[in-house]
């Protein structure tokens, strides 16, 4: 490698690598994870700084591919302040181990898309906030009968095919995911065009709100769709004669090399733990933890807005519903793995910490096709990682090898090269 920056070696830690927790050191330079054998044999140098992690777990940083807003910011409504709002959320997510995310827009009037979509740009993470991987556009091309919390007034068809998409969104340059209902007329050509442009297509449930049957779902996957938007919510229930989109998890009619991913709101409210256990047991490699967080995350109990809808936080912050109804409209917790595990005890019982972590790191990176850069601690990927205790509580967050959030007494520098101070000292 041509880089000559200082090398940091994190020791006394357990790394999540190759689907297991291993006692290895993490080597980082210039924001990239290094192969220590190459450093030793090719460069013949030692680390400039060695840091004791005191037995903590190091995992790739969390990736949230479905978040509608947080900390009072509504990605689907705050047109005049959207850039500042996205930045506020990006900064706030660092404390929760999220190193990158997809700001998500729910079904909205056309003028909202034309004003907001061009303003939200892909951006690398830094000490100023988590990275932006691109927008997730949930709607407006969904099924009115399974609209969930989406406003029916703004739901659209695909009567004119892809031209309707461009007319609505204006630009796709900074879009990462589009969720749509595959049973809509002309959806096939739209799916193919989106995938050709490098955009992930997600089908079914909640904001993908769909009444699609299994055959329609299988066709959508063959056309390029790869993800189901939060499984079980706002979609046809499982039926033994037509399992609907849920059947994609076990379908034998899909290409052998195709993995179908599915988001899950793992809060114990949107999906019953028994349903989560079923999904895990039949198709664990596809599970992606999503928060579906709404602007009320971090705000007190009461009424707030999400897009054009008035929502209400109830039960001491445990539920968010459309005001005056019992229709769930998104969980407003952040992607903290210990919180998820509290609501999905089977994750730790049946698959342990490794699966819980990979469902929030590796799997969302696979959805977006960015595992060469993010979602793992593989050599030469970006050094976006989190340090956790054994209960999976976030202790520190790093982006590009820089500590961007964390406890001041977490780590101790135990050695430095001659070019630096030789005495042991607290780094922060």
Closest to 96 (Cα-Cα) out of 48, 63, 138:
63
Find the length of the chain: 428
In angstroms, the CA 248 to CA 210 distance is 14
Instruction: Decide: 50 and 276 in contact? Cβ < 8 Å.
Output: no
Distance of CA 23 to the CA centre of its chain: 27
Which residues make up each annotated binding site for substrate? 149, 233-234, 241, 270, 328-330
> Count of alpha carbons within 13 Å of 84, Cβ hemisphere only?
5
Note if 422 is an active site residue.
Answer: no
Candidate list 74, 267, 292, 384, residue with the active-site label: 292
Which residues make up each annotated binding site for Zn(2+)? 138, 209, 230
Closest to 135 (Cα-Cα) out of 88, 195, 179:
179
User: 214-222 vs 187-196: helix axis angle to the nearest 10?
Assistant: 30
Q: Which residues contact 190 (CB under 8 A, 6 or more apart)?
A: 141, 158, 161, 162, 165, 180
β-bridge partners, 27: 9
Sheet (strand 32-33) strand order: 32-33, 26-29, 7-11, 49-52, 412-416, 425-426
Opening angle at CA 134, ends 193 and 229, nearest 5: 70
SS3 content of the chain, % helix, strand, coil (to 5): 25, 25, 45
Q: Could you tell me how many helices (H) and strands (E) the chain has, helices first?
A: 11, 26
Q: Which residues contact 36 (CB under 8 A, 6 or more apart)?
A: 9, 25, 27
Which residues are part of the catalytic machinery?
A: 292
């Amino acid at each position: 490698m041509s880089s000559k920056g200082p090398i940091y070696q994190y020791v006394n830690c357990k790394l999540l690598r190759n689907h297991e927790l291993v006692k290895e050191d993490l080597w980082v330079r210039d924001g990239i994870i290094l192969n220590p054998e190459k450093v030793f044999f090719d460069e013949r140098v030692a680390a400039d700084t060695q840091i004791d992690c005191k037995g903590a777990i190091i995992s790739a940083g969390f990736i949230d591919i479905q978040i509608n807003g947080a900390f009072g910011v509504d990605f689907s409504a705050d047109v005049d302040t959207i850039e500042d709002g996205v930045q506020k959320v990006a900064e706030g997510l660092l404390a929760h181990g999220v190193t990158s995310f997809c700001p998500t827009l729910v079904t909205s009037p056309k003028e909202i898309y034309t004003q907001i979509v061009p303003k939200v740009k892909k951006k690398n993470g830094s000490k100023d906030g988590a990275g932006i991987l691109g927008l997730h556009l949930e709607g407006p091309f969904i099924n009115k009968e399974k609209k969930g919390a989406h406003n029916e007034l703004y739901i659209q068809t695909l009567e004119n095919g892809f031209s309707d998409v461009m007319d609505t969104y204006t630009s796709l340059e900074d879009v990462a995911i589009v969720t749509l209902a595959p049973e809509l007329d002309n959806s096939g050509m739209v799916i193919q065009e989106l995938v050709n442009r490098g955009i992930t297509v997600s089908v079914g449930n909640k904001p993908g709100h769909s009444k699609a049957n299994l055959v329609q779902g299988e066709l959508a996957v063959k056309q390029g769709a790869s993800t189901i938007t939060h499984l079980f919510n706002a979609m046809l229930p499982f039926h033994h004669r037509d399992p609907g989109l849920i059947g994609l998890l076990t379908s034998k009619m899909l290409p052998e090399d195709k993995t179908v991913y599915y988001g899950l709101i793992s809060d114990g409210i949107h999906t019953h733990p028994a349903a989560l256990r079923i999904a895990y047991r039949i198709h664990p490699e596809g599970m992606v933890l999503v928060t579906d967080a709404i602007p009320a995350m971090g705000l007190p109990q009461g009424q707030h807005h999400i897009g054009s809808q008035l929502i209400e936080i109830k039960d001491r912050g445990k539920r968010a519903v459309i005001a005056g109804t019992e229709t769930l409209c998104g969980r407003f917790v952040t992607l903290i793995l210990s919180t998820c595990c509290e609501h999905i005890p089977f994750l730790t019982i049946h698959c342990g910490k490794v699966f819980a972590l990979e469902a929030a790191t590796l799997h969302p990176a696979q959805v977006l096709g960015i595992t060469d850069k993010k979602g793992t601690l593989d050599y030469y990927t970006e050094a976006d990682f989190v340090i956790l205790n054994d209960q999976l509580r976030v202790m520190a967050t790093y982006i590009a090898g820089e500590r961007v959030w964390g406890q001041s007494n977490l780590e101790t520098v135990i050695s430095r090269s001659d070019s630096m101070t030789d005495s042991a000292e607290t780094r922060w």
